Amino acid sequence: MGDKTIMIPSPNNAFNPSPGGPMISAPSSEEKNWAMGCHLSSLCGFLGVPFGNILGPLVIWLIKKDSSAFINEHGRESLNFHISLWIYGLVSGLLFFTVILIPLMFLLWGAIYIGGVVYSVIAGVKAANGEHYRYPLTLRLIS
């Protein structure tokens, strides 16, 4: 049996998960703000801007992805989530063609809308705190 070491985060190793490994610096406040913008800009789509939930994060991600790994990660995550929501909405829209399932279609659209807003705000808060966040039920299309 081998010796297994469990690392417990402390102020000294919070951003250095592997002893002797490369140090990962905490994101700057500017990086946190841009990462938060990746998530919160998606709310434009929920306020009536066509494809705003995809275009907002896409524009920020394309501009800032090369300047910071933190922004790149949050931008990709936001894009993947909102593209996934778009796909789920499209698939649930197909229920319209089965007349009996139209109420289910509206229920799913409501859940997609509410989930999109709630999870975008949660992700924005996590980004503002310098934390990593993974959206639930997300297709990882952009890697």
User: Residue 11 has what pLDDT?
Assistant: 45
Which residues touch 103 (CB under 8 Å, ≥6 apart)?
Answer: none
Q: 3-state DSSP: the chain helix, strand, coil percent, rounded to 5?
A: 60, 0, 40
Q: What angle do CA 21, 36, 132 make, to 5 degrees?
A: 30
- Three-state DSSP at 133 gives coil
User: Residue 101 has what pLDDT?
Assistant: 86
User: Residue 98 has what pLDDT?
Assistant: 85
User: Residue 22 has what pLDDT?
Assistant: 52
Q: Which residues of 46-74 are buried (b: 16+ CB within 10 A; e: fewer)?
A: beeeeebbbbbbbebbeebbeebebbbbb
Per-residue pLDDT of the chain (143 residues; tens, 9 = 90+): 454 444 444 444 444 444 544 556 899 999 999 999 999 999 998 888 889 999 999 999 999 999 999 999 999 999 999 999 999 999 998 888 887 888 999 999 999 999 999 999 999 999 999 999 999 999 999 98
Find out whether 76 and 55 touch, Cβ atoms under 8 Å.
Answer: no
Q: What does the alpha-carbon distance between residue 140 and residue 98 come to, in Å, rounded to a whole number?
A: 29
User: Residue 10 has what pLDDT?
Assistant: 42
User: Residue 97 has what pLDDT?
Assistant: 85
User: Residue 18 has what pLDDT?
Assistant: 44
